[in-house]
Amino acid sequence: MIQKWIILSAFVLTGLWGENDTLSITITIDDVPLAVDENSIPTEFKIHPAFPNPFNNKVMLKWDIPNETNLSVSIFDILGREVWSKNWGKIFLGTYVIQWNGKDKLYQDVSGGIYFVQTRMDEKVSQQKILLLK
């Protein structure tokens, strides 16, 4: 179903061109049905390769999530210490992208080196390696 919205607004402006000039604005918004590309809906869990990798400022992390789940992401240094984490809680199917800026939980720059991105979806845990160049 296509809907049409019309917004009417009128303002009385005094002292500009005459005593009581009126400015009218009409905005028309047409709702267009959304077409969904069925190929873009994730059907299986997928971790896309971090990009760019190696990186020196920011790295993009991307996941395809095929169903409703709990999602958390942690980044660990080479010694296994957690330097950054984010728990999104319940999320829905779709493709999710975040950008990590090479900062720890206290927003301090981390040193260059190898880091591991750990993704937890309910019981499923997966990892990938990223390299921060300084």
Kindly report the CATH class assigned to 38-132.
mainly beta
β-pair type (20-30, 46-47): unpaired
Sign of CA dihedral 27, 30, 36, 41: positive
Residues in the chain, overall count: 134
Q: Name 55's bridge partners.
A: 132
Predicted local confidence at residue 32, as pLDDT:
46
Taking the C-alpha atoms of residue 63 and residue 44, their distance in angstroms, rounded to an integer, is 10
- Put simply, whether the predicted model's pTM sits higher than 0.85 gets the answer no
Predicted local confidence at residue 27, as pLDDT:
58
Nearest by Cα to 126 from 50, 59, 21: 50
Report the SS3 class of residue 111.
coil
Taking the C-alpha atoms of residue 89 and residue 69, their distance in angstroms, rounded to an integer, is 8
Taking the C-alpha atoms of residue 56 and residue 97, their distance in angstroms, rounded to an integer, is 18
Walk along the chain (134 residues) and give the pLDDT tens digit of each residue: 444 555 555 555 555 555 555 555 655 555 544 444 456 788 888 889 999 999 998 999 998 888 888 989 999 999 999 999 999 889 888 888 889 999 999 999 999 999 999 999 888 888 999 999 98
